[in-house]
């Protein structure tokens, strides 16, 4: 039987919440509430995470990453994220919480504990519960068409931008922040984790700003490759559109003062 890539109750994120952009999107869809019973279970796990974060090896890892980022010579640093295999390592039936938001936070901490006790790479364990802004991202004004892809299988990308003359029909995607729900998520996190883990506002607004992925979703993979030879002008125009869009989103986040990063290795 194929592995289920979800936590039940409609909670689904195929990489086991490793990609922070999609994790934030899924969490933002949940109700900002945690029951008293789930709170007790989460605080027990949070205590374990805090204990792991206080081990001497964590400071050693911080120093290694600091030296690495400063271009100083260190031993090779190792970061191992099972991503798509997390649901085989920690299947949904291993969770004890009932509520959706609690199940996601429980999963995040179970991953951290497994990371430290079993994987033992150079990831730094932090006594932190990150909470991202709740947001939505608008589309291009045209729906992306994927054929197949069930159960994380392969899929075909239909060309929805069939002619570069239709480029003017596309709209730049926008990030729309729900500040009210974001504050509610923070309040719930403080109620659950205060005194054990530090609740921090941390964001990742996209998996990658690589423009090629978006271009392929619009033109289709085969067309994208052929365009490099048959229609370089059209392809350049599409990439310019995507470049301008990315810069606008970055400017928006900077202007809103929500361009808060995240740190696995600090």
- In this structure, are 112 and 164 located in the same domain? no
In a domain, 161, yes or no: yes
- In this structure, are 66 and 102 located in the same domain? yes
pLDDT tens readout for residues 143-158 = 989 888 666 678 889 9
In a domain, 262, yes or no: no
- In this structure, are 196 and 238 located in the same domain? no
Nearest CA among 3, 30, 55 for reference residue 106: 30
Q: Which residues pair with 135 in a beta bridge?
A: 177
Identify each DSSP E strand in 53-170 by its residue range: 128-131, 135-137, 146-148, 155-157
Q: What are the average pLDDT values for consecutive 10-residue runs of the chain, which has 266 residues?
A: 63 84 89 98 98 97 95 95 92 93 96 97 96 92 84 82 92 93 97 97 80 94 95 96 94 85 50
What is the model's pLDDT at position 146?
Answer: 85
What is the model's pLDDT at position 2?
Answer: 44
* Boundaries of domain holding 230: 139-172+208-257
What is the model's pLDDT at position 1?
Answer: 36
In a domain, 264, yes or no: no
What is the model's pLDDT at position 150?
Answer: 67
In angstroms, the CA 32 to CA 185 distance is: 5
- In this structure, are 71 and 194 located in the same domain? yes
- In this structure, are 221 and 128 located in the same domain? no
- In this structure, are 212 and 132 located in the same domain? no
- In this structure, are 159 and 241 located in the same domain? yes
What is the model's pLDDT at position 10?
Answer: 77
- In this structure, are 88 and 110 located in the same domain? yes
Total domain count, the chain: 2
What is the model's pLDDT at position 5?
Answer: 65
What is the model's pLDDT at position 262?
Answer: 52
In a domain, 215, yes or no: yes
| Residue 147 three-state SS | strand
In a domain, 61, yes or no: yes
- 8 Å CB contact between 215 and 239: yes
- In this structure, are 132 and 146 located in the same domain? no
- In this structure, are 192 and 226 located in the same domain? no
- 8 Å CB contact between 61 and 124: yes
- In this structure, are 113 and 229 located in the same domain? no
Phi, psi of 21 (to 5 degrees): -60, -50
Whether pTM > 0.85 for this model: the answer is yes
What is the model's pLDDT at position 265?
Answer: 44
In a domain, 31, yes or no: yes
In a domain, 194, yes or no: yes
In a domain, 263, yes or no: no
Q: H/E element holding 176? A: strand 175-177
In angstroms, the CA 86 to CA 95 distance is: 13
pLDDT tens readout for residues 161-213 = 999 999 999 999 999 999 999 999 999 999 999 999 999 988 877 777 889 99
* Contacts of 256 by beta carbon, 8 Å cutoff, 6+ apart: 177
- In this structure, are 76 and 196 located in the same domain? yes
């Amino acid at each position: 039987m194929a592995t289920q890539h979800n936590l039940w109750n409609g909670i689904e994120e195929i990489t086991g919440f490793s990609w922070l952009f999609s994790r934030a999107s899924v969490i933002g869809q949940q109700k900002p509430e945690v029951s008293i019973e789930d709170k007790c279970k989460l605080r027990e796990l949070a205590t374990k995470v805090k204990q792991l974060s206080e081990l001497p090896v964590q400071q050693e890892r911080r120093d290694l990453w600091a030296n690495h980022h400063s271009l100083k010579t260190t031993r090779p640093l190792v970061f191992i994220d099972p991503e798509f295999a997390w649901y085989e390592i920690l299947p949904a039936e291993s969770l004890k919480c009932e509520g959706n938001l609690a199940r996601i936070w429980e999963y995040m901490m179970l991953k951290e504990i497994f990371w430290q006790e079993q994987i033992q790479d150079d990831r730094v364990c932090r006594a932190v519960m990150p909470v991202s802004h709740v947001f939505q991202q608008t589309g291009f004004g045209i729906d992306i068409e994927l054929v197949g892809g069930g159960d994380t299988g392969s899929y075909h990308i239909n060309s929805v931008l069939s002619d570069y003359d239709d480029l003017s029909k596309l709209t730049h995607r926008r990030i729309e922040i729900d500040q009210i729900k974001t504050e509610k998520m923070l309040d719930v996190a403080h109620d659950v984790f205060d005194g054990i883990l530090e609740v921090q506002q941390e964001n990742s607004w996209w998996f990658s700003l690589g423009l090629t992925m978006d271009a392929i979703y619009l033109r289709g993979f085969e067309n994208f490759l052929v365009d490099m030879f048959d229609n370089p002008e059209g392809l350049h125009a599409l990439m310019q559109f995507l470049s301008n869009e990315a810069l606008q989103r970055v400017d928006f986040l900077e202007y809103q003062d929500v361009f808060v990063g995240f740190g696995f290795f600090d």
